[in-house]
């Protein structure tokens, strides 16, 4: 493997189509596509300032690096990424990628990030301004994610989330086969139009959660007092600890809680209209 130490590059494609490079303390200045079409790259302690440095890459490792705001859209159309202990200030990162792992990564400006990716693992990742995070992605394994941003996980499939704190309205819309364990989810209109959404040992806040859902499951969950008008037109099996502020027109299934502020079953309820609402 060729070693490049403490060098600076800029302009158009300075390391284009290279194979087997290790970069230590390297700075990529303003320009475009510094490492496009590369493979078997290691970057440690590097600084990326220019646009699109890692496009169409395979098998690359990024550790202890910084992607400044100017390095927007830095990682697209690539596969086989391991990123650790890195600060990503640039937006629109990680698009159309496969087989990527992020560990101890902080992304403070994560607008439109992680779109249409497959085979993603996140561990101890912090995300801010994460609007539309993960849209159209699949096969996600997430542990200890701290997320601040709206419209997350929309149109995702085959997702497992554990030990996370998510402040995000309109999350999990039109998802399929998503399970969330031991997490906090705060935000309005959670999980609308989802299929196979399962929440286990979770705390849920925000108005009108979990409506229009199919095969919805809650196990040992808590609904905050602002989580009102829940389950409208959903097919649901829910075991809820504590009180539910209000339930409105669930289609079918069973809901069990310690108490209810109100249960609304009106002329707009949809067939089969046979959901059992039970008190523990």
pTM score of the predicted model: 0.94
Bridge partners for 21 per DSSP: 2, 41
- Residue 36 is assigned to a structural domain of this protein: yes
| 8 A C-beta contact, residue 158 and residue 183 | no
Question: CA dihedral defined by 245, 250, 254, 259, rounded to 10 degrees?
Answer: 20
Q: What are phi and psi of 69, to 5 degrees?
A: -60, -30
Q: What is the mean pLDDT of residues 213-230?
A: 98
Whole-angstrom distance between the N-terminal and C-terminal Cα of the chain?
A: 64
pLDDT surpassing 90 at residue 185: yes
- Residue 257 is assigned to a structural domain of this protein: no
What are 144-169's pLDDT values in tens digits?
Answer: 999 999 999 999 999 999 999 999 99
What rounded mean pLDDT belongs to the chain? 96
3-state secondary structure of 104: strand
250/265 Cα distance (integer angstroms)? 8
pLDDT band at 181 (very low <50, low <70, confident <90, very high): very high
Query: Per the structure block, which two tokens stand in for 69?
Result: 């705001």
Q: What are phi and psi of 12, to 5 degrees?
A: -100, 120
Q: What are phi and psi of 236, to 5 degrees?
A: -140, 145
pLDDT surpassing 90 at residue 276: yes
- Residue 54 is assigned to a structural domain of this protein: yes
- Residue 163 is assigned to a structural domain of this protein: no
Q: Kindly report the number of other CB atoms within 10 A of residue 189's CB atom.
A: 19
Number of structural domains, the chain? Answer: 1
pLDDT band at 1 (very low <50, low <70, confident <90, very high): confident
Nearest to 179 by CA among 155, 194, 193, 197: 197
State the residue range of the domain holding 5.
Answer: 1-86
Structure confidence at residue 72 (pLDDT): 86
| 8 A C-beta contact, residue 36 and residue 13 | yes
| 8 A C-beta contact, residue 51 and residue 70 | yes
Structure confidence at residue 258 (pLDDT): 97
- Residue 82 is assigned to a structural domain of this protein: yes
- Residue 1 is assigned to a structural domain of this protein: yes
Q: What is the mean pLDDT of residues 249-260?
A: 97
Query: Per the structure block, which two tokens stand in for 15?
Result: 């390391």
- Residue 138 is assigned to a structural domain of this protein: no
- Residue 31 is assigned to a structural domain of this protein: yes
Structure confidence at residue 280 (pLDDT): 86
Bridge partners for 240 per DSSP: 221
Q: The domain that contains 64 carries what CATH number?
A: 2.160.20.80
Q: Which range among 68-72, 117-121, 177-181 shows the weakest confidence by mean pLDDT? A: 68-72
32 compared with 174, residue with greater pLDDT: 174
């Amino acid at each position: 493997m060729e070693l490049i130490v403490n060098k600076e590059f800029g302009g158009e494609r300075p390391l284009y189509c290279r194979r087997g490079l290790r970069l230590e303390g390297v700075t990529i200045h303003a320009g475009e596509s510094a490492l496009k079409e590369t493979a078997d790259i290691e970057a440690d302690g590097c600084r990326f300032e220019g646009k699109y440095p890692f496009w169409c890459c395979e098998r690359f490792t990024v550790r202890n690096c910084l992607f400044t705001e100017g390095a927007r859209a830095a990682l697209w159309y690539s596969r086989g990424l391991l990123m650790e202990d890195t600060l990503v200030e640039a937006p629109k990162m990680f698009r159309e990628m496969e087989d990527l792992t992020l560990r101890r990564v902080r992304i403070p400006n994560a607008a439109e990030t992680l779109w249409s990716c497959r085979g993603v693992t996140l561990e101890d990742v912090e995300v801010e301004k994460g609007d539309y995070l993960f849209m159209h992605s699949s096969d996600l394994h997430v542990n200890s994610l701290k997320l601040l941003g709206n419209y997350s996980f929309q149109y995702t499939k085959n997702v497992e989330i554990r030990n996370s704190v998510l402040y995000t309205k309109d999350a999990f819309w039109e998802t399929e086969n998503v399970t969330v364990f031991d997490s906090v989810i705060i935000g309005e209109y959670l999980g609308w139009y989802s299929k196979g959404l399962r929440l286990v040992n979770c705390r849920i806040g925000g108005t009108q959660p979990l409506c229009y859902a199919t095969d919805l499951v809650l196990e040992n969950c808590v609904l905050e007092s602002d989580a009102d008008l829940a389950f409208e037109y959903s097919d649901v099996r829910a075991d809820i600890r504590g009180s539910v502020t209000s339930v409105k027109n669930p289609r079918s299934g069973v809901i069990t809680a310690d108490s209810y502020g109100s249960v609304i079953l009106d002329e707009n309820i949809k067939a089969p209209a046979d959901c059992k609402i039970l008190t523990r």
